[in-house]
Amino acid sequence: MGRTLQRVKVSTASELPKNLGKTVNIGAIEIALFHLKNGEFRAIENRCPHKGGVLVEGMVSGEHVFCPMHDWKISIMDGKVQKPDNGCVKTFKVEIENDDVYIVL
């Protein structure tokens, strides 16, 4: 028996400016939702694994976000911290339907 996936509407695509993040709270989970320059939407855990920096406040460059506290570079695609630093954050699947943005838990 697999776990049931939960699909939660969190925004509309048209209200999210590109290259900026939005904080989304689903229960006890805090997620950083990003609308990338290429039009894709990505969602990752909103805390840097280093010192808990709020990633949604970081600068987005391509497929990475830079933690606002210590400039750790984290992939928005797979959640991996880039070398020389180590670690990763959880990623979440994003689905777009019409103009609605959903995060799948």
Question: Each residue of 48-88: pLDDT tens digit?
Answer: 999 999 999 999 999 999 999 999 999 999 999 999 999 99
Domains of the chain: 7-104 (2.102.10.10)
Strand order in 64-66's β-sheet?
59-61, 64-66, 73-75
Phi and psi torsions of 14, nearest 5°: -70, -20
Rounded-to-integer distance, Cα 17 and Cα 25, Å: 19
pLDDT single digits (tens) 8-50 = 999 999 999 888 899 999 999 999 999 999 999 999 999 999 9
What pTM, to 2 d.p., does this model score? 0.92
- Please give the Cα distance from 78 to 63 (Å, whole number): 10
